[in-house]
Structure formats: structure tokens, C-alpha cells
Structure 1
Amino acid sequence: MAKTLFARAFAAVLFTTTSGIALAQDASPIEDVANTDGEIIVTAQRREQSLLDVPVAVTAIGGDNLAKRGISNSSQLGEAVPNLQINSPYGRTQPNFSLRGIGVANEYNSNQASPVGVYLDDVYLAPRTSHGMGLFDLDRVEVLRGPQGTLFGRNTTGGAINFITRKPDLQGTEGYAELGYGNFDTFTAQGAVEATLSPDAVGLRLAVNYAKGDGQIRNVFAGGRDPNSTDTLQGRVSLRIKPSDALDVVLRAYGGRDRGTQAGVHGLLPFRTGLDFFETNENRVGDNRTDAWGFSGNIALSLSDRLTVTSITSYDGGKQDLQQAADGSPLDILDITWQSQYRQFSQELRGNFSSDGVDFVGGLFYGWDRNITDNRFNLPLPPAGGFFQHYRQVRRSYAVFGQADIDLTPNLVLTLGARYTEDKSRYDDAYAYLFVGTIGAPDLPIATTVPCAGVAGTCAYNPAARFALADKNSALTGRVALSYTTDGGTLLYASYNRGYRAGAVNGGGYTSSSGISYIKPERVNAYELGLKGRALDRALTYAISAFYYDYTNQQLQDTRAGPVSFLVNAPKSEVYGLEVESTLRATPRLRFDAALGLLRSRYKDLTLQGTDLSGNRLPFAPEVTAQFGFSWDVLDLAGGTVTFAPNVAYSSQQWFSPFNGTNATGSAQDNSELQQGANAKVNASLSWSNDKLTVRAFANNLFDRETYGYGLDLRGAGFPYNFLVPAAPRTYGVSVKVSY
């Protein structure tokens, strides 16, 4: 029945959009990433194209439009993209992206790769900690929904998100400076300056972003710190060298740090009873300390009018030190220190060839990343103590790929693509032990737990004991698509895509070796139909897609009594849905933006803790998401324009656990509370601007909607509560931006 409803909805939208109206090109609710001809230019297929020429579901959001929508951090992107959910147990740190129901599910360990590939200027970012970035001085963000197993490839079963920064345009000097102030005593500052050192040949651009504010969750514990504070500083420098039309070199370096307090936690029930939603009662509010930095070089060499070779080299690093009081109470029940250090290197060599009737992109990829982790879990053991865990994970990925667009007729294009990937992973230097000691005091090890095949505490402490595993996966992924462009400019396409996510090892195994093993890779077979076009004399743009996924071996975390965490595969799932994005420019001064995502996800085969969960919904997969807003130039005043731009983001109910509301037989679980009900959040801005100056007042979550962003079962692990993280309350403020 549900499949029939989706099919009828897609047919109805298709009929009403195409019947009786002249259609032209382009399809995006975002117009500030367009060129001078009004076409939206993206690089979703690793070459510049008008968005309407790309037979892929893509949302492109320009940097200026991000600000209008109140989006200043990657964790807020879900408010602008259909079927995109973003969650984290650490607030804005280490965000988990879920596209069309495919994400890391309830996984919280730092060593797992996201199934939604995240890129910064086409550089793949392996550590999830580096995904929680402030958004500043961007050209645009491209969100590609669905498996991208050919041109992006590595760990993109759900899709890919590419953050594209501004680069020097080699013409003159320009820049901007922006200052802002908001509630929670939040001060923000960002700016950029660009200088052309040699016209059309050498340019330099510097950008910086700073934000500092008090905690957004009130801590009622006497003398306690407030969670969810802000303290970030980021910078970027880009050097572009173009000695000739044939050679274009862009060198970038970036660095940043975050020193905010941990996310607020609702935990032990007696200590959250009677509190306001945006309050907690916690004696130990820790810090979210993260650092990220990197260098990249993008070299594009045109060997002829038809052939361009591009080399992208990068080296990135960072670390996290997350001190998390995870009980939401003045008692020391569960305090965790999550510490990891990251390094990664990647090299991609790509060729773009174009001839009459054929466009080809192909190349080679190599990626290496390393994660060294030291975690400390303080538990209410008699006497006080807990577990310490250390391991090193090294992953290597090799790939060869190619994709060709072949013109079968002037209007019909066949796309064929394939990618062969080989992934190697090693988990070594691993050890864990049970210790005696209070929070912040030196550990006194009393028993080795890794390596130890038995129950925690049954193996004598051995400081020299180490545990190691290695694994190797390979996969052939690819894409087949047919796209047809009507004489009026409408694009219709049908595609098949195969996506792959490498196998993984359980980063949460610290109580024994029995919980540490590699699990199978994920795979997705995705089928999609799409339509893009313009109507009403180019006033209306739209993009529509319907999709079906055959999803196998989703990797998810199963927390059991002990407390013991196991990484397991969900053997088989089914996901399908419908998406619509549109923009209507009703008048030269009034524009409407709307998006709708319908999603149905089900486990077809899943058993956890002896409980059959077949038929349950995937976590972080609401069945309906919708966004609606408008931008209205209300009047011209004092040489500038007053603009009112409100928007609303709606999400239906979603679960945080594969159990949904089911409890494992014989357990103390209460999984019914691990959910967020349907909700709508309203943002708005009122601004006055001219060519040089913009003054803006804004409010996000205007009506102070109370929602949870993440939840984890801890009752089943032996704790007397579940772990819930409130999302941000209402924020508001003003900013002034000067451009030159």
C-alpha cells in the first residue's frame, strides 16, 4: 500500500508540473550559486555543469543563502535539505549525517567512517570529528543524495556532501568583515580579504571565523557550568597561481579549534524531573576540545581543448578531547573522556576528456588515514574505577574509476560508470584494562580486559598484552543512467547506482576481546527516477526524484548489559521515497522556496539481543521532512533594500534506535523514550542592505521548540537511565557586514 501511495504521489507531481506549460532549464531553490546566465553551476559529476544537466538528486546552497537561512555550522544543514538528518551525542561535534535513512545509525565511536562522504574542496575527510565545521567564506555546498559509488566512491552509500570554499578570482581586491551579537552573550566575527598579486595570474585570499558564547542549556547544579557553550576559531588561506590558460594551481591551508562545553544531557530520571527542557542538573560539565588542520593542492593542467588532467593532494590532521558527563545528574555514574588523534593523506589523479558525443571522467585514488584513541570510562564500581581503552586504526584505500556520458541522440544520453575499490584496515596496539581510581586521579590497573576472552575482571593485568586484527575488502561499484532532455529543456532520467562502505571494527570494545571483530561491508543497490525543469516563463524551477534502495549489512551499534558494545550488521533493509524541491519567483521582489521529502524505511531482517526487529524503521529516518520559506524585498529605504526572509523546517517522528519502541526480552530497556516526535522549527531574518553594507536581525528556532537531537539506550547496558541530548533552544541576534 505504501509503495502505491508513493508511486501515485510521484505521478501526480509529475503530471501537474509538466502539463500545459513551457519548460526551460535549471532546477534549484538556490540562485546565489548561478552564473551570469542564470544557470546554477555545480561539480557533482567532477566537471562544471548546469544543475539541470546532472541526472543526480543534488541540492546546491550558496554561501550567502546559508547566512539568510541562519545556517552557520554543518550540523544545521538538515534544515535546508530534504531527507537529510544530522545527529550527535556531542552537540555540534562529530556530527552523524543520515541521507535518505542511511547513516551511522546509533554509532558513537570516533573510528567509524560515515556512509555519507564529506568533502572539503573535493578532499575526502575521513574523521567524523572534522565534519563539525563552521561554515564561512563558502562558494557553495553541494549535497548529493544517493550512492556516489563511481566518481566519489569511498564510503558514500548514503551520498556525499562537498563544502566548496571561495578561491581567488584573480581580479582586483575585495573582501568583507562581519560582526554579530546574540543571546547567550554570543559574539561572532568573520571576514575575508582577497588581493590580486598579479592580474589574471596570482591571487591570495585569507578568511577567518570566530564565535564565543555562553552555554545554551542552563545547569541548575550550584556552581556548575552551563553545557552547549561556543568557543571556536577557524582560519583559511588560499593561494591561486595561473601562469597560463592551460595551468591553474590552487593551494589551501586551514586550521581551527573548538573549546566549547559538552552537550547538555538528560539522564537519570530523578534529576531531570521538574526541570525545564533546556535545563540539566550536572556536577561535571566537561569540554568539547577539538582541533583540525590541513593542506591541499589542486593542480589542473589543460593538455588540449579536449583533455584536462587534475591532481588533488591533501594532508590533514586533528584531535579530539571530549570530556562527557553522560549521566545528567550530580552523581558520578558515567563520566567518559573520549580522546583521539587523526592523520590522513589522499591523492587523486583525474582526467576529463570531452569530444563530440562523449564526456569522460576517470582516474586513480589513494587514501590513508590513522586514528589513535585513548578512552577512559569512569563507572560506579565498588571501589570507584572504570575501564581504560587504547587502540590504533590504520586504513588504506585504493581505487580506479571512470564514467562516460555518451550522446545516443541529440537529446538522449547514456551514462556508464564503474569504480573498483580495495580497502585495507588494521586495528592494532589495542589494550584495555579495569582500574581503580576516582575521576581525574591516576589509574591503578587491576585486570586486563583486552586481550581477554572472558568476563571483564577475570584476566590478570598484563601491561605488555596487545590485541590486533586486520581486514581487507574489495568492491566493484558503478552507475548506469539514461537521461533525456526535451526540446523545451526538461530533463528526465532513470538510474541504477551501487554503493559500498568498507567493513569496520568495533571501536567500542573495551570489556573483552570477544566484542572486537570486523563486520561485513555495507552495500546499496539504488534505483531512481528524476525530473528537473523550469516552468511559468522560467519563474518556477523544480527538481523531483523517486528512489528505491535494496540495502544490505548496515553497520550499527548494539549496546548490551555489561556494559558491552557490539558492532553488528543488519542483514537486509528496504528504503524508498520521494523528494521535491522548487523555487517560485513570484515577482522581482518575492521568491518562495519549498522542499518535501517522503521516506519509508524498514528492516526486512534484523535480530538484536534475541529480539526480532524485522519491520522496524531505521533510526534517524523520519517519514516526512519539509522546508518552506520566502524572501521578500519589502521596500527600498535610504539607498538600500529591506528584506524579510522567514523559513520553517518540519520533521515527522523519528526513532533513535533500531529497537524503535521494542524492548529486548528480559532486559531493563525503555526504548519508547528514544525518539523525537513531529516538530516544526521557524527561523526568520530581517535585513537592510546595499552594495556595501548589510544590517541583519535574526532568530533561529523562533518559538523555542523543544526537541531531542540524539538518544542512546543505556538501561539495557545496566545503567538506570537512558541518554538523551536536547537540541538547541531559541537563538537570536544582530549582525553588521561591510563589503568592499
Structure 2
Amino acid sequence: MASKPMTCAFALALSCTVSPMALAQEASATQTASQAAKTHETNADIVVTAQRREQSLLDVPLAVTALGSDSLAQRGITNSAQLGDAVPNLQINSPYGNTQPNFSLRGIGVANEYNSNQASPVGVYLDDVYLAPRTSHGMGLFDLDRIEVLRGPQGTLFGRNTTGGAINFITKKPDLSGTNGYLQAGYANFDTFTAQGAAEATVSEDKLGLRVAVNYAKGDGQVKNVFPGGRDAMSTDTLQGRVSMRAMPSEALAITLRAYAGRDRGTQAAVHGLGPFRTGLGFFEINENRVGTNRTDAWGFSANVALELSDTLSLTSITSYDGGSQNLQQAADGSPLDILDINWRSQYRQFSEELRANYSGNGVNFVGGLFYGWDRNITDNTFNLPLPPAGGFFQHYRQVRNSYAVFGQADIDVADKLVLTLGARYTHDTSRYDDAYAYLFVGEVGAAPFPIATTVPCTGVAGTCAYDPAARFALSDKNNALTGRVALSYTFDSGTLVYASYNRGYRAGAVNGGGYTSSAGIGYIKPERVNAYELGIKGRAGGRLLTYAASAFYYDYTNQQLQDTRAGPVSFLVNAPKSEVYGLELETTLRPVDGFRLDASVGLLHSKYKRLTLQGADLSGNSLPFAPRMTAQVGFEWDMLQVGGGTLSFAPNMAYSSRQYFSPFNAENAPGTAQVNSELQQGANAKVNATLSWSTDVITLRAFANNLFNRKTFGYGLDLRGAGFPYNFLVPSAPRTYGASIRYSF
């Protein structure tokens, strides 16, 4: 264990956060209602449910970032793919743009995996409901109460597939008093129109309320396509809606019902591919004959029923049923030639039930319960390749997973202000991959395929097994895991909290969804496991002048699940036997004067494969993909002056990332291949966003600019040279966007 780096890092955090500070000034008594709401979010204790019960953020012995709706607006964050600009050591990437984002926390993510059947090791939740399909994670952010990002394994209370952490999107619910809402409309460059709104009505005071919210955005592609008549890439076309009903038939019974639905029809992400067709193009330009559409749909329903049995004991049931689909048409060659055109299609269904008990009394806070989750993925992918004659591969399979768990965690007051936390979760996971078949076909892109050879099931070289329309392939797997948490925390008289913890995280074993050229490469691989050790401190200095949180951590990480693409092209899912990750995070908020708030955070990260060999190359010592050594965010919000009966505010922020690799190879190449893996990285960069707003109790006018200086960066890269293609796959991030909006609140 790298105890020395941890100790040094934690000492640095302490020296940064306990410096003497002057006392904060009191908030003005003449502030408007909108200012008061902003003050509540930034100055008052932020209440979170990171431990499945309500607590002040500063009382939770975990590394948690909480972002309220106002903070999201001031930072210009409108979808989940932008959260990396606000959370230390959080990276978000995808080969499909904002669709199917891959979250990586403290270096733990899906790495270079791009298939839809793989579970994210960072669990994503909507109102405490686990969302299994990664396509559902690319949600637009609207009418939210807050977002909680829990860094580190959450194998006790959240449990399923949370080796990296958990992200919980918490929507606004009726407050059972009065009528309120808002309407907002905006316009931005790329001819982008946005609109959203919410309306809440109280049917019976303190008894029954209803809230309806919608979100719409439509705009042209952000990356110009010079191909004659070609569509521009990265366009926007989304529509989402949500209905929430909250009822309290009695003081002891609370029922919240939520239904949502949404769709996305934007064009695919831009691709930098075949080199000769990049000549003369700008960074935000492509020459592509088949820019496709990312068609995604998501819907769901949940029921949260909470019953207080006594002053100390309550029961909560959370039931959900969700579904959706994706139909992604991806020209993956970045050229006017038909080198690699893919149609990714999947349909999803999932059900989950959690029954939880909360007890608080006699110096003990206990949370425990039962969980069951089921999800199904039916996939039909088509891969058009430059085969003589034109053709490719078609792939079909069904994956069904079940997860059963029992869990409990107790916070025990062992002495005055000293709390011992003990938690455990036992999980039983089953998975079945069946109705699987794939075949080699001939036919042009978009034409009806003509099968010529079965490739799944077939253990030989593609094209060597006669076509059999009845052939099917199936296999199954099961995993059992005991995960848990042990922590000791102490709260000083000043309110400062210090803690030390051990957490164990687990991600179930997985099957290779990318196996379509042969069944030889389709098999289950081992589960991931993380043993995480963490030291933390959080509190205030100078009254409310400075709020801070710091943590130092070390991970013993085994069996990370990686995609290994080889010549053929053949994809294998493999385990990286052993890795280590350690680092430091620091988050601070400074309020030196009334009407001014400075937010800053930094994440330092060291990640290393201690043992890994891919394609005959020893990659031991390489960094994990999507794990920059340093990330930092800094920004301020300044209420500059009162004018026209409102407040004029300026809120710029900067997000910095050091170099990150997109591949476990880093800059190395496998022996005997045509790989150029040095292309698969993004160098250090900083992006600046800013908003300027004028607000009253009723009206908010806001102008914004994201990526103000139009930094040219890549967000994702995949090795295709090693698979036999004459180029690598690189996806540029969004260019500068700017616009304005008006919001009316009632």
C-alpha cells in the first residue's frame, strides 16, 4: 500500500484547509427572493442522502460533491456529459457524443469498452433508482433539486456495480404548498432553440401535489461537414418530460410517484478518421458521406412509499420499471468512403425493488434492507466493412441479468463525537447470454444483407462455417460477493469532521458483447473488485467564510474489465489482473464578502497497471485510461450591482485537465502491429465557461458561453489500426457555444 504518498497528500490537504481566515460578513437583509434561494444553496447546510438518510453534507464521512439547480445553471451544465467540469477526478467520455456517456471516477470506468451490454462501474441513479442501460445515462438536466456524486466504492448502501462510485440525480418534487413553476426559453449559436418549464399545483394543502416538467432543445450540427449534401455532426434534437405526484394521506405515510419519458434524435458525434480526407480541414470540420442519427428513447415509472412506524423506525419501498432503446447510425471512418459503417441497435427493460428500514435511536443510526434488480438487453448490430464484395457482419443476442442483495449499515456512537460505521452487503448476481447468432453477409450499406456464413456459433476463422439460420449460442454465469464498509469518524467542537474508512466495491462479471466474428472470443470474465482506503476532513473556517472538504485515498484494484481489439477485426473482453490508484481531492468554497463566492477544487491522481499484458505487449506501469494526473476547477459568482430592480451577476469558471490516455497501451504499440497509439491521447487543456445574469423575484435573463476560447480537444479515442484499419478513431469535444435565455418564475 502506497502509504507515504497518501500521508503526504493528506498533510498537504490539511495545510491548505486550516489556514487562519477572517470572519465572514453577514448576508444583507435586503436581498431579493432569488438571492435568498441562492444564499440557501451556497451558505446553508446542504442536505444530502448519500447514506440513504438525510444529513448535512459536512456530516457525511464520504467524499461527496453536491450540485444544486442554481449551481448547475451558473456553471452552464445542461446535460450529464458536462458534469466533469464541476467534480474533481470525474471524467466523462463516449464514442457517441452525449449518447451513452462513460463515467470514470478516480480512474475507474469502463475504460475503452463501447458495447451497450456492459454495466457502468459508476452506478447512475435517478431518485435512488438504479439505471442499468448506459444509454439512459445521457440525460438532459432539467428541474432537478440536486445531483450527488459519491466518489469511491459504494458497495454497501448503493451496492450494484459501484466500484468507482455513484451519481444520484434527484428531481424536484411537489412541496404540497401553493402553486409555483417557471417557463424558460433560449437561443444559442448553431441555430439552437431551447425551452423548458415546470408547473406545480397543490390539490390539497399538505396532502396532495402534482408537478409537471418538460425540456426541449433543437439545433444544427456543431461540426461542419464539407461533403456535398452531407449532414453536420453533433446536432441537438431532444424532448423530455416528467410528471411527479406526492401524497401524504397521513403524517406517517408519504407516497411519491414519478413517470418520465424522453427521446433524442441528434446526429452522431464527429469522427477524425482516415488521414488523407483530413487534409485542408479545420479541427471542427469533417468530410463524411454518411453522418448518421443517434436515436435514443427512455421512459420509466417509480413509486416511493415511506411509512413512519414510530419516532425511531421507518420503512421505505422503492419500485421501478424502466425501458428504452438505442438506434445509433455511426459512420466510424470519418471519410467519404464506406470503410466502417455501424448500426448499433439495442432495446432495454429493467425492474427493481428495494425495501429499506431506517432506525435512529439510542446512539445508533441503522439503514438496512433487501434489493432485487432485473434487466434485459436485446441487441442487433450491423457492421459494414470494406470486404470484397461489399458486406460485413450482423450480430444478435439477448442478455438478462438478475441481482439479489441484502444489506445493512450502522453508525454507532462509541464515544462523545466518535462514530463507528459498520456495513455489509451480500450480492448474488446471475447473467445469461442467449439467442446469440452472427453471420457474414454481402450487401451495400443500408441494403438488405445476404448471409453467406455463420460466425456465431463458430470457433473458426470468420467465413469458414456454413451459414445455418437456426444456429444459436448461449452461456450463463453467476457471481457472489460480500462487500462492505468500516469507518471511524470524529467531529471536533468546531464542527470539523475527520474520518478514516475502508470500503470494498464489486462489479459483476461480464460477457463480451463485441464478439461477432467468432464465438471463440465470447465468454464471461471475472468480476472487478476494489479495496479502497480513505482519509478525509471537512468543515468550516472563519464562521462561514471558508467551507472545505479534502480526502486522500488508495485503491487496490483487481480485474478491471477491458476491451481488446485485434486484427480481424476481433474484439475480446479481458481482465487487467492488478492495478493501483491513489490520490488527493480538495474542494473549497470561499465567501470573503457578501455577494461574492469563490469555488475551487483539485483532484490529483496516480493510476498504474501493476500487471497487464495485451497483444503480446507488457503494459505494466502504464496509466489507466481516462485518468489524468490532475484535474482542477475554479470559478466565482459575483453579484456586481443592483440595477433596474434586480441583481446583475457574473459567474465565470475554468476546468483544467492534464494529459489523459484513451487506451491501456498509452503511447506504446503492440509488437508486429500497425498501431500508432500515441494518437490516442489528449494533452493538458483548460476550458473557460461564463454566465452573465440579471435576476429579480420573477425574471432571470442569462447570457452564457461554454468553451469560451474554443479549445480544440478530443474526448475519446479507440485503436483501429491494430484491428487492421488504416486509421484510429478519434472524437472531438464540442466547440465554443454561446447564447442567452429568459426565465419567468411564478
Category of TM-score, reference length = shorter chain: over 0.9
Matched, 1:476 2:479: no
Hey, what's the Cα distance between the residues in 1 that align with 2:39 and 2:673?
A: 53
Q: Confirm or deny: 8 A CA contact 1:185 1:213 kept in the other structure.
A: yes
1:202-281 correspondence to structure 2 within 5 Å: 202-281=208-287
What is aligned with 1:27?
A: none
Paired residues for 1:332-481 under 5 Å? 332-481=338-487
Match of 1:491 in 2: 497
Q: What secondary structure is seen at the aligned counterpart in 1 of 2:154?
A: coil
After TM superposition, give the deviation of residue 13 of structure 1 in Å.
2.7
Match of 1:315 in 2: 321
AA partner of residue 510 (structure 1): Y
- Mapping 1:26-37, distance limit 5 Å: none
Name the residue aligned to 1:516. Answer: 522
Q: What's the CA shift for 1:274?
A: 2.1
Question: Counterpart of 1:206 in 2: which secondary structure?
Answer: strand
Q: Tell me if 1:302 matches 2:319.
A: no
> How far apart are residue 537 of structure 1 and its match?
2.1
1:42 to 26, 32, 48: 48
Q: Match for 2:552 among 509, 531, 546? A: 546
Q: Is the 8 A contact 1:33 1:139 kept in 2?
A: no
SS in 2 for 1:505: coil
2:92 paired residue number? 86
- The structure 1 residue matched to 2:537, chosen from 508, 531, 535, is 531
Aligned equivalents of 2:225 and 2:536: distance in 1?
A: 49
Q: Which residue of 2 aligns with 1:647?
A: 653
- Rounded to whole Å, the distance in 2 between the matches of 1:289 and 1:691 is 39
Query: Contact 2:108–2:163 (CA<8 Å) still a contact in 1?
Result: yes
Q: Is the 8 A contact 2:437 2:455 kept in 1?
A: yes
Q: Of 576, 599, 604, which aligns to 2:605?
A: 599
Counterpart contact for 1:33–1:40, Cα < 8 Å: no
CA contact (8 A) 1:170 1:198 kept: yes
Q: Which residue of 2 aligns with 1:166?
A: 172
| Counterpart mapping for 1:170-181 below 5 A | 170-181=176-187
Contact in 2 for aligned 1:498/1:525 (Cα 8 Å): yes
Identity value in percent: 79
- 8 Å CA contact 1:509–1:515 kept in 2: the answer is yes
Deviation string 1:645-688 (CA, Å, 9 cap, x unpaired) is 00000000000000000000000100000000000000001110
Q: Is 1:662 the counterpart of 2:639 in the alignment?
A: no
Structure 1 pair 412–676 and aligned structure 2 pair: CA distance change class (3 A): same
Structure 1 position 389, deviation (Å): 0.1
The separation in 1 between residues aligned to 2:125 and 2:42, in whole angstroms, is: 27
| Secondary structure of the corresponding residue to residue 190 of structure 2 | coil
Distance in 2 separating the partners of 1:302 and 1:263: 49
- C-alpha change, 1:85 and 1:70, in structure 2 (3 Å) is same
Secondary structure of the equivalent of 2:10?
helix
Determine the C-alpha separation between the residues in 2 that align with 1:643 and 1:361. 42
| AA in 2 matched with 1:18 | V
Q: What is the SS of the residue equivalent to 1:657?
A: coil
Distance of 1:10 and 1:496 partners within structure 2: 16
Does 2:677 correspond to 1:674? no
Structure 2: distance between partners of 1:267 and 1:538: 52
Correspondence 1:564 to 2:570: yes
Structure 1: 5+ residue stretches without partners = 25-29
- Alpha-carbon spacing, 1:287–1:35, altered in 2? closer, same or farther (3 Å): closer
Q: Which amino acid aligns with 2:719?
A: D
Q: Is the 8 A contact 1:503 1:520 kept in 2?
A: yes
Higher mean alpha-carbon deviation, 728-737 vs 273-282, is at 273-282
Provide the C-alpha distance between the structure 2 equivalents of 1:115 and 1:608, rounded to a whole number of angstroms. 22
Instruction: Sort the Cα spacing of 1:33 and 1:423 in 2 relative to 1 into closer, same or farther, 3 A.
Output: farther
Aligned counterpart, 1:108 = 114
Structure 1 residues 608-619: aligned runs within 5 Å: 608-619=614-625
Using the alignment, how far apart are the partners of 2:702 and 2:430 within structure 1?
50
1:17 equivalent in structure 2: 17
Contact 1:534 1:541 in 2 (8 A): yes
For residues 245-298 of structure 1, the C-alpha deviation after alignment (integer angstroms, 9 at most, x for no partner) is: 100000000000000000000000001122100000000000000000000000
CA distance in 2, matches of 1:691, 1:328: 49
Deviation at 1:568, TM superposition (A): 0.1
**Deviations 1:155-211, CA, capped at 9 Å, x for gaps:** 000000000000000000000000000000000000000000000000000000000
Residue 33 of structure 1 deviates from its aligned partner by 9.4
CA distance in 2 between counterparts of 1:733 and 1:15 reads 41
**Alpha-carbon shift at residue 17 of structure 1 (Å):** 2.6
Distance in 2 separating the partners of 1:2 and 1:648: 31
Farther-moved stretch of structure 1 (30-39 vs 387-396): 30-39
Which of the numbers 691, 697, 700 marks the counterpart of 1:694? 700
Partner of 2:28: none
Q: Report the AA paired with residue 724 of structure 1.
A: L
Matched-pair contact (CA < 8 Å) for 1:378–1:385: yes
- Higher mean C-alpha displacement, 32-41 vs 47-56: 32-41
Cα deviation digits, residues 48-101 of structure 1 (max 9, x gap): 001111100000000121011000000000000000000000000000000000
> 2:71 aligns to what SS in structure 1?
helix
Alpha-carbon distance in 2 for matches of 1:35, 1:352:
27
For 1:239, the aligned partner's letter is M
| Distance in 1 separating the partners of 2:41 and 2:83 | 23
> Structure 1-normalised TM-score?
0.98
State the aligned residue count: 735
Cα separation, 1, equivalents of 2:561 and 2:646? 53
Mapped to 2, the partners of 1:658 and 1:308 lie a distance apart of 47
Aligned amino acid, residue 228 of structure 1 = M
Q: Whole-Å Cα distance in 2 between the matches of residues 659 and 274 of structure 1?
A: 30
Counterpart of 1:124 in structure 2: which amino acid? Y
Report if aligned partners of 2:186, 2:739 keep a CA contact under 8 Å in 1: yes
- One of 706, 710, 716 as aligned partner of 1:704: 710
Aligned to 2:191: 185
4+ long deviations beyond 2 Å: 1-10, 15-24, 30-37
Superposed displacement of residue 21, structure 1: 6.6
State the alpha-carbon separation in 1 of the partners of residues 133 and 652 from structure 2. Answer: 34
SS at match of 2:415: coil
**Could you say what secondary structure the match of 1:421 adopts?**
strand
Kindly indicate whether the alpha-carbon contact (under 8 Å) linking 1:646 and 1:685 is maintained by their aligned counterparts in 2.
yes
Q: Give the superposition deviation at 1:446.
A: 0.2
Maintained 8 Å contact 2:10/2:535:
no
Q: CA offset at residue 549 of structure 1?
A: 0.1
Q: Could you list the per-position Cα deviations for residues 686-728 of structure 1 after superposition, in whole angstroms to 9, with x for gaps in the alignment?
A: 1100110000100000000000000000000000000000000
Deviations 1:463-497 (A, max 9, x none): 00000010000100000000000011100000000
Check the 8 A contact 1:657/1:671 in 2, yes or no: yes
- Aligned residue in 1 for 2:70: 64
AA at the equivalent of 2:622: N
Instruction: Calculate the TM-score normalised by the size of structure 2.
Output: 0.97
C-alpha distance in structure 2 between counterparts of 1:120 and 1:12, whole Å: 36
The 3 A distance-change label for structure 1 pair 16 and 233 is closer
Matched, 1:325 2:331: yes
User: Would the alpha carbon gap of residues 183 and 21 (structure 1) be closer, same or farther in structure 2, given more than 3 Å must change?
Assistant: closer
AA partner of residue 10 (structure 1): F
Contact 1:585 1:591 survives alignment (8 Å): yes
Shift in Å, 1:333: 0.3
Mapped partners of 2:744, 2:298: distance in 1: 28
**Separation of aligned partners in 2, 1:213 and 1:79:** 22
Residues in 1 aligned to 2:745 and 2:43: alpha-carbon distance in whole angstroms: 24
130 and 33 in structure 1: CA distance in 2 versus 1, 3 angstrom threshold: farther
